[in-house]
A and B are shown apart, each in its own frame.
Chain A
């Protein structure tokens, strides 16, 4: 059977920067394939070449075995290539049916909407992958997982033969991922080719056959999915070996920094008690909706608990706003750094000094520019933030460097306690390592760290202790040397 699409020796450069340096790629009908690589490795360029957005500088594209000289976006769609971007490209204000059948509006010469045909194509697409969503419901009311199904249905309705999914599991819970995987298996049975694009070892690799790894625009190889694990994949993607040792030390002798006693908040969490000691990294894990973020928000003063007690260094504190929390020495790195952690259009430097700008006021009530620059330079150096110039907007930095900027912002306030909520979402492996090196160094200096994450290896490799949350309660406490990654993953997902 010929490949759905086959690329050989693809080269592409943008103004002297070689994004792709001779990449081969192929996928056959009914195959689930993964394309992995760090940010900037050329994944998106490769997708854009397959969807016809970019023309390659050199190399050959074959569709169904037939070479095509120039692939336009239109021809790519006609050949059955459908890309589902990470943001899903849906129209939140339109109904499910309209989102699925929207291609009708692009048909030549069509002026009036054929509502009956639109509805039928939506129903057909949903039936084909066995989902039933209310076709009249506006997409904005759906969960992320359901929205993803709508995006898949749209691809099906447009006679997709190759569906490219960019980071499809990034914002799904484990149950939702399982539902997605069963839909994907179904597509596979119908001889559709599926390409997952990711920068990490994704759950979807469970059902992938082959994995193509890109590194710096070059192909680091095509592998059988079964022969890869975290460490090997990290090596292939970065060319560096990382050690994944676990944290065997204990902080039990250290003075308590944060004591939480019987903290409860209706419809958020109940009866939470734990102690965080100086220099300790306390992992908090659990599914999305287990109450972990809700707890973090209460500890940062953003949503007051109904009952219970919080003590910082032995003194009971009332945290009624985040200003109280900052005054008590607590910093919080939010889960969604883009909207909550950074002012994206301001410079990296301005973001770093954002939370301490009051202390940089010099004579005459104006900001002391020299001291400000010095502080920024100090943090950029000590956290090794890769930025050509502190004045460029944070928006242009990579995920890992953005996260370091958020970290620097909090460290500048000289906190005693730092709450990190999913600090490595959307961050490369190498950058992830960099961030945890920093976190460990901070703990060594005596800062207490609460690390919230649902990535099991991340928690087990960095935390001294791990608390497991489920449906608003702490249901277990583990030491990293007392539980394996597999066991913890099972416990996290148990209902």
Chain B
């Protein structure tokens, strides 16, 4: 009997925790139904795969940013990190690409990208920990420093003409539908791998749980004997690493590396993560929510394009969606808090 009650209590708490995600999923379903009815191309395999390929890197970076937000930090500089990693990778490809060949080449470029991402992430982590200044300010500064150095060194040149193996990418699990062949590309595979690993990290490892704990109450984490420097270093390095992975994915999809293709989109990623319910004050947020947030923004942009709406309106619509979502959350929280208080005054 008692166990029964406990079980029910448990699921109730579980559902309550996921309420935001249900809401978001509902909004996405409505949006999908609307776009499916109003446009020809939206509900098609080709559009789905287009969407997945072009937004995979946003999802990958969002997973990294979520981890940083949970820990109580924030990173604005990851787009600069990604662009630096892209230039490192592209330079290697242009110079040595042809001679390396497929399997070895992938190892080299992912290795080089990861090294760059980890290095720049470590710079952020060390600065945030030792300066004890808001991570927002520190990473806005490093965004400028990383990006400035990059432009100075590369003079903002576009890079393209990559070897064939890089253009072909990776394609697994091909299937034919209505005359066209679809397959899981490098971008989709990388997204799946990153999501699986991040979910495992956040929910199954002591490291992930310590990151949640630190975000929830840093003072208590110190008293508990957690190594805060190590944890901060880890989350910023993980962000840098995923920024670099996302950078390779984006470069492979676009087959061009340009200085302004990723920088400037950091707030879009942040918006997706916050839409997904992550708390800017640390300690809260789920990977599922984050991915729903990315999906909502991706579907909105894609849908508006298919509806033939001018791209200037996209930003206005997305801004309004974020505002209404944040207002709904705040309203919800205030009502939830208000309901408990009050006195039952007897008549």
Q: Hey, which bits of chain A sit against chain B, CB under 8 A?
A: 73-74, 85, 87, 89-95, 98, 102-106, 110-113, 132, 134-138, 266-270, 289-291, 294, 471-473
B13 in the interface (beta carbon within 8 A): yes
Q: Would you call B13 and A113 a contact (CB within 8 A)?
A: no
Known: A93-B212, A111-B205. A289 touches B217 (CB 8 A): no
Binary contact track B222-236/A, C-beta < 8 Å → 1, others 0: 011110000000000
Q: Would you call A102 and B213 a contact (CB within 8 A)?
A: yes
Q: Would you call A112 and B216 a contact (CB within 8 A)?
A: no
Interface centre among A87, A137, A294 (most CB of B within 10 A): A137
Q: Would you call B13 and A112 a contact (CB within 8 A)?
A: no
Report the minimum CB–CB distance from B11 to chain A (whole Å): 8
B259 in the interface (beta carbon within 8 A): no
B346 in the interface (beta carbon within 8 A): yes
Q: Would you call B342 and A268 a contact (CB within 8 A)?
A: yes
**Contact with A104, one of B9, B206, B221, B346 (Cβ below 8 angstroms):** B206
Report the minimum CB–CB distance from A88 to chain B (whole Å): 8
Q: Would you call A93 and B283 a contact (CB within 8 A)?
A: yes
Known: A73-B225, A91-B213, A91-B220. A112 touches B205 (CB 8 A): yes
B155 in the interface (beta carbon within 8 A): no
Q: Which residues of B lie under 8 Å from residue A90 when comparing CB positions?
A: 217, 220
Known: A93-B284, A267-B345. A113 touches B209 (CB 8 A): yes
Within 8 A of A (CB), among B185-214: 203-207, 209-210, 212-213
Interface centre among B206, B210, B221, B283 (most CB of A within 10 A): B206
Q: Which residues of A lie under 8 Å from residue B180 when comparing CB positions?
A: none
Q: Which residues of B lie under 8 Å from residue A472 when comparing CB positions?
A: 343-346
B10 in the interface (beta carbon within 8 A): yes
**Contact with A136, one of B10, B203, B226 (Cβ below 8 angstroms):** B10
Q: Would you call A113 and B9 a contact (CB within 8 A)?
A: no
Bound complex: CA A94 to CA B221 (Å) = 12
Q: Which residues of B lie under 8 Å from residue A91 when comparing CB positions?
A: 212-213, 216-217, 220-221, 283
Majority-rule SS of A interface residues: loop
Nearest first, the 10 A-B pairs at minimum CB distance are A472-B345, A267-B342, A93-B216, A93-B283, A89-B220, A91-B216, A134-B9, A105-B206, A136-B10, A136-B13
Q: Would you call B225 and A92 a contact (CB within 8 A)?
A: no
Bound complex: CA A269 to CA B216 (Å) = 35
Q: Would you call A89 and B224 a contact (CB within 8 A)?
A: yes
Q: Which residues of B lie under 8 Å from residue A106 when comparing CB positions?
A: 224-226
Bound complex: CA A112 to CA B210 (Å) = 11
Q: Would you call A473 and B345 a contact (CB within 8 A)?
A: yes
Q: Which residues of A lie under 8 Å from residue B205 when comparing CB positions?
A: 111-113
Q: Would you call A94 and B216 a contact (CB within 8 A)?
A: yes
B215 in the interface (beta carbon within 8 A): yes
Bound complex: CA A135 to CA B5 (Å) = 12
Q: Would you call A269 and B6 a contact (CB within 8 A)?
A: no
Q: Which residues of B lie under 8 Å from residue A290 when comparing CB positions?
A: 343
Q: Would you call B209 and A267 a contact (CB within 8 A)?
A: no
Known: A267-B344, A289-B343. A102 touches B224 (CB 8 A): yes
Known: A91-B220, A94-B213, A136-B10. A113 touches B206 (CB 8 A): yes
Report the minimum CB–CB distance from A366 to chain B (whole Å): 30
Within 8 A of A (CB), among B5-39: 6, 9-10, 13-14, 17
Q: Would you call A269 and B343 a contact (CB within 8 A)?
A: yes
Q: Would you call A89 and B217 a contact (CB within 8 A)?
A: yes
B219 in the interface (beta carbon within 8 A): yes
Q: Would you call B204 and A135 a contact (CB within 8 A)?
A: no
Report the minimum CB–CB distance from A91 to chain B (whole Å): 4
Q: A91-B213, A137-B9 are in contact. List 12 more A-B contacts (CB 8 A).
A: A90-B220, A93-B215, A93-B283, A113-B205, A113-B209, A132-B6, A134-B10, A135-B6, A138-B13, A266-B345, A270-B345, A289-B343
List, sorted by A's number, 28 A–B pairs whose CB atoms are closer than 8 Å: A89-B223, A90-B217, A91-B217, A91-B221, A91-B283, A93-B216, A93-B284, A94-B209, A94-B216, A102-B213, A105-B206, A105-B210, A105-B213, A106-B225, A106-B226, A112-B206, A113-B206, A134-B6, A135-B6, A136-B9, A136-B10, A137-B13, A266-B345, A267-B345, A268-B342, A291-B343, A471-B346, A472-B343
Interface centre among B13, B17, B345 (most CB of A within 10 A): B345
Nearest to A77 among chain B residues (CB) is B225
Q: Would you call A268 and B9 a contact (CB within 8 A)?
A: no
Q: Which residues of A lie under 8 Å from residue B342 when comparing CB positions?
A: 267-268
Binary contact track B129-149/A, C-beta < 8 Å → 1, others 0: 000000000000000000000
Within 8 A of A (CB), among B290-339: none
Known: A134-B6, A137-B9, A269-B343. A85 touches B223 (CB 8 A): yes
**Contact with B343, one of A102, A110, A138, A294 (Cβ below 8 angstroms):** A294
Interface centre among B10, B209, B219, B226 (most CB of A within 10 A): B209
Q: Would you call B343 and A268 a contact (CB within 8 A)?
A: yes
**Contact with B204, one of A87, A112, A136 (Cβ below 8 angstroms):** A112
**Contact with B344, one of A113, A294, A471 (Cβ below 8 angstroms):** A471
Report the minimum CB–CB distance from A159 to chain B (whole Å): 16
Nearest to B206 among chain A residues (CB) is A105
Nearest to B14 among chain A residues (CB) is A136
Q: Would you call B345 and A111 a contact (CB within 8 A)?
A: no
Q: Which residues of A lie under 8 Å from residue B204 when comparing CB positions?
A: 112-113
Nearest to A95 among chain B residues (CB) is B13
Q: Which residues of B lie under 8 Å from residue A135 when comparing CB positions?
A: 6, 10
Q: Which residues of A lie under 8 Å from residue B14 when comparing CB positions?
A: 136
Report the minimum CB–CB distance from A340 to chain B (whole Å): 16
Q: Which residues of A lie under 8 Å from residue B212 when comparing CB positions?
A: 91, 93-94
Bound complex: CA A137 to CA B217 (Å) = 17
Q: Which residues of A lie under 8 Å from residue B13 when comparing CB positions?
A: 95, 134, 136-138
Bound complex: CA A48 to CA B310 (Å) = 64
Q: Which residues of A lie under 8 Å from residue B346 when comparing CB positions?
A: 471-473
Bound complex: CA A316 to CA B305 (Å) = 62
Known: A134-B6, A290-B343. A105 touches B220 (CB 8 A): no
Known: A89-B219, A268-B343. A98 touches B9 (CB 8 A): no
Q: Would you call B345 and A291 a contact (CB within 8 A)?
A: yes
Bound complex: CA A398 to CA B23 (Å) = 47
Bound complex: CA A73 to CA B223 (Å) = 10
Bound complex: CA A94 to CA B224 (Å) = 15
